[in-house]
Amino acid sequence: MGALATSPAAAERVVIPDGSGDAWKSVGEDEFTHVGTAPNTDLTQTRVSHRARYVVIRAAYEALQKGAPEEFELRAFLRAPHPNGTRRYVAYARADGPKGHTKYYLAHYRDGVLMDCEGLTGRTRFGTDVLTVRVPRSCLGHPRWVQFQGAAYSYTEEGSFNDDAQRKAPFSTSLRPKAWTRRLARG
């Protein structure tokens, strides 16, 4: 009798619909006014997959445009188990508007210190209005599960704008304890 072949588990993922027209402009510290939509800011859906080697964040926008605004970014906040409790990280995809060149960073959330993370990559597809970030699980300590919160930001001469990936409200300056997605087990 032969051994049964095992197939790798499928990546566990969550799809977060956001709708359009829920971008906000900052008018003071933790004060915002609803603006409807803003270039390179208005998220319509975010998909987070916890795969065998990567955590992949795929953000769909109402419109991604080269040249407007001056700078935009996606912030993917990730929470993962750690022997001392949980750790929180933030993966940044930051693009300069004129050329659309995107750089990727990973930091510890609490102190903001950038981490060395070999293999952190992503892609901005202006034609399909999608920005993708791939965070190696090795940079997160090979967690059994991850949770997500996120937001899109843009910075222009008219001010700064944001869109919370999970609700029709502005993303405030701190993470909301009850806003984490369900735990996504490793695929």
pLDDT band at 177; cut points 50, 70, 90: confident
pLDDT for 111? 82
**Where does the pLDDT of residue 167 fall: very low under 50, low under 70, confident under 90, or very high at 90 and above?**
confident
Q: Compute the C-alpha angle 137/140/145, nearest 5°.
A: 75
Task: Give residue 187's pLDDT band: very low, low, confident or very high (50, 70, 90).
Answer: confident
Of 78, 92, 82, 55, nearest to 141 by C-alpha is 82
What is the number of other CB atoms lying within 10 angstroms of the CB of residue 103?
A: 12
110-120 b/e (C-beta count within 10 Å ≥ 16 → b): eeeeeeebeeb
pLDDT digits over 148-159, tens only? 999 999 998 888
CA distances 17 to 59, 72, 141, 161, Å, are: 10, 20, 29, 19
- Using a 10 angstrom Cβ sphere, with 0-12 exposed, 13-18 middle and 19 or more buried, the burial of residue 37 is middle
pLDDT 10s digits, 101-158: 889 999 998 888 899 999 999 999 989 999 999 999 999 999 999 999 999 999 988 8
Average pLDDT, the chain: 88
Q: Which amino acid is at 112?
A: G
The pLDDT value given to residue 7? 41
Query: Which range (28-32, 33-37, 135-139, 144-148) has the least confidence?
Result: 28-32
- Measured CA to CA, the distance from residue 119 to residue 70 in angstroms comes to 27
Q: Which residues pair with 39 in a beta bridge?
A: none
Per-residue pLDDT at 1 exceeds 80: no
- For residue 19, the SS3 value is coil
